[in-house]
A and B are shown apart, each in its own frame.
Chain A
């Protein structure tokens, strides 16, 4: 295999990986603050993308994206307030099924609100075939946008968690909710905030990847599964782990296509997930001890 073919597979893998990684980071934010795996995470990307496409018909692109992010954040808040907030010490099983139910309901509402068609925002710079050459491999400028926007989001997120009072409050909640409450932190609002943040990130990610992946009403579920795989691959609860897990998964998929019939590409991803679950549930970067101590 020549070097530029090899590199092209790498570029493809990185493209997939960034997208899975950003979904995984969205999972991680909510998981850290609440211990809930939000199976509706993929739907945030879908809503963001679809809303942006609709708004773009009436407004310039940056306004449309901003609008989509805000609307999706409101949806995230609504989900938390309507479905999660008032539950009384629900079991894990119940929470899983609730978020699955939310994901299905959102998907079907999206089908009837929009339609069954595929949509996409225009490429931010250039068009669908413009490409930059990097060491013999072609990479679309949109992929660079994805890397840039997602990287910026991750950076801002860690700044937020480290340097702002609100962020530190959220981290306190994630570590030990009771102690945080004793310090006067309003745990319920932190939970809502985590949903809002996750939704916003998901929406922005959905907008910036839509020129590559297209969005349609059912694109949420597939992304959620890949995102979850990336999150546990990297170690659930770690943002950096989620990003790394995404990249690793993307590369594994890409080279899987090279080695196996492409028809089994998804089976490779699921096999990776099952492998991680069975062999090392704490993930590559997670600590096995911490995983055991986590309550669920």
Chain B
């Protein structure tokens, strides 16, 4: 199919660009750029999931940072909470028997016994998926504003819980998160020596996700999603199980966000309450909007550039203003995104003086 063929071309081109950038950075002794590109890559995982949810399934979610935080915080907690003193309890001895515990020195002379990072990661992601599945039902009975506010509320509650609980470090968050060993010789960590390998790992994951989602969109499921986005009643009338699809997409987006949370937490060596904040959720939405609601590649490209610049402090004190302004500008002038092409049509029609119909600002 043409769509698949195009998808492959883009993916190959993107892969080439990724390699090019790494070679350029390394040879120019500017390997440090790779750090922020890696962090941007993980943010893009969240964005891709959200783009699928918002763009194709047409469901707003203002709370993706909540799932990111669940993934990151749970993984961070499990890999830093010292179970040593609790060795005698049932749960801990079960974990020890299953070879799920590991002991390491904790940097201040003592040692800490905690869950194996990969087990913690799996648990965190599964938990996020379970929570998403649980709240999907009630959330999707809502529409429009109510749906947006419900997801916003979810994000805020998650933020408050992590901010208020001393187990999660309250305002300081959790630091000293160890590396996540994935393969012999390779771990997700921020250490300078692993910078290049982590860069490829992160962007490889993004490529994989992009490919997977593109295939999903081109498949029957994707068509069903777009039908739901177009008109839920019509979709239901042709027998599409709406609730099930919406839930599945919601869970998928949540899983992607949680994976990003886990990996970025191990990469940065920590997580804090600001990673669960409303502004982070708004940024993800802004990036999806600017890339074009239903345009995965557009979201990826623009999102990478914006996140990279933001992490480098390029926008200085105007960071939030930039994202808010972009959000606004996109929604006003180019709701299909900058890369969608609609903005050019609109500019032309503005200049040709065509009269638009009497405005209705109703829903």
Contacts and interface: CB of A to CB of B under 8 A. Distances in A.
Contacts of A281: 142, 146
B362 to A, nearest CB: 5
B359 A88 contact: yes
Nearest to A277: B150
B331 A101 contact: yes
A187 B359 CA distance: 9
Given A83-B332, A90-B361, A271-B157, A221 B278 contact: yes
Given A264-B164, A270-B153, A109 B321 contact: yes
A87 B146 CA distance: 22
Interface of A: 34-37, 83-98, 100-105, 107-109, 111-112, 177, 181, 187-188, 191, 221, 225, 228, 232, 261, 263-264, 266-267, 270-271, 273-274, 277-278, 281, 295-296
A225 to B, nearest CB: 7
Interface in B326-363: 327-328, 331-332, 335, 356-363
A94 B60 CA distance: 10
Interface residues of B, number: 49
Contacts, number: 145
Contact of A97 (B139, B149, B331): B331
B160 interface: yes
B160 A104 contact: no
A62 to B, nearest CB: 34
Contacts of A86: 356, 359
Given A35-B363, A108-B318, A270-B156, A96 B145 contact: yes
B328 A296 contact: no
Q: From DSSP, what is the main secondary structure of chain A's interface residues? A: helix
* Residue in A83, A93, A105 whose Cβ sees the most chain B Cβ within 10 Å: A93
B360 A177 contact: yes
Contacts of B328: 83, 98, 101-102, 104-105
A273 to B, nearest CB: 5
Given A105-B324, A295-B362, A87 B150 contact: no
Contacts of A36: 361, 363
Contacts of B138: 277-278
B154 interface: yes
B143 A296 contact: yes
A104 B323 contact: yes
Contacts of A267: 157, 160-161, 164
A278 B134 CA distance: 12
A221 to B, nearest CB: 7
B160 A188 contact: no
Contacts of B153: 225, 270, 273-274, 277
B148 interface: yes
Nearest to A90: B361
Given A97-B289, A102-B328, A267-B160, A92 B149 contact: no
Contacts of B362: 34-35, 177, 295
Contacts of A105: 321, 324-325, 328
B360 A89 contact: yes
A188 B358 CA distance: 9
B160 to A, nearest CB: 4
Contacts of B289: 97
Given A104-B323, A277-B142, A270 B160 contact: yes
B350 to A, nearest CB: 10
